[in-house]
A = this chain, B = another copy of it.
Amino acid sequence: MKRFEIVDTPINPQAYSDLVLHPAAGAVTVFTGHVREWTHGVRTLYLAYEAYIPMAEKKLAEIGAEMEEKWPGVQVAIAHRIGELKISDIAVVIAVSSPHRKEAYEANEYAIERIKEIVPIWKKEIWEDGEQWIGAQKKYPEKGSGSQ
């Protein structure tokens, strides 16, 4: 088990929370993103996630490093699941520990925003009458070309 990983089996949030807990930590925030049944009035049957695994793990670790620089004292673990996920399954877990609570909340929310921006993972929604790869990338990665 790694602090920043792509997995293809069910995610146990407690395992990631345990990774970041230490005697100086007064606060731990754990975010889990779950497969939602209804999105914009359309019923999802299940989701399929795909990742460019080595790059995705590297980008997750980069996000962790960004967080530790922005909020000194936080510790971070992130996992994203790939493969077929059914309703309520956990797609992503972000565990953040901090001496104080404010940083644990802020850093955690930062992580999910960054994951949605730069980590090469893709989601396909499968409905009763069709399916589609989702791509809502608004901001381009910092190192990417602005014109692409």
A-to-B contact residues, CB < 8 Å: 13-14, 17, 21-38, 87-88, 99, 101, 104-105, 108-109, 112
Contact = CB atoms under 8 A, between A and B. Distances in A.
Given A32-B27, A105-B108, A88 B13 contact: no
Interface of A is mostly: mixed
Residue from A23, A87, A108 having most chain B Cβ neighbours under 10 A: A23
B27 A29 contact: no
Contact of A24 (B14, B33, B36, B99): B36
The 8 closest A-B pairs by CB, nearest first: A26-B36, A23-B37, A30-B30, A28-B32, A105-B109, A23-B87, A29-B31, A26-B34
Contacts of A31: 27-30, 101, 104-105
A104 B94 CA distance: 13
B28 A34 contact: yes
A34 B27 contact: yes
A135 to B, nearest CB: 18
A12 to B, nearest CB: 8
A13 B17 contact: yes
Contact of A25 (B27, B30, B34, B101): B34
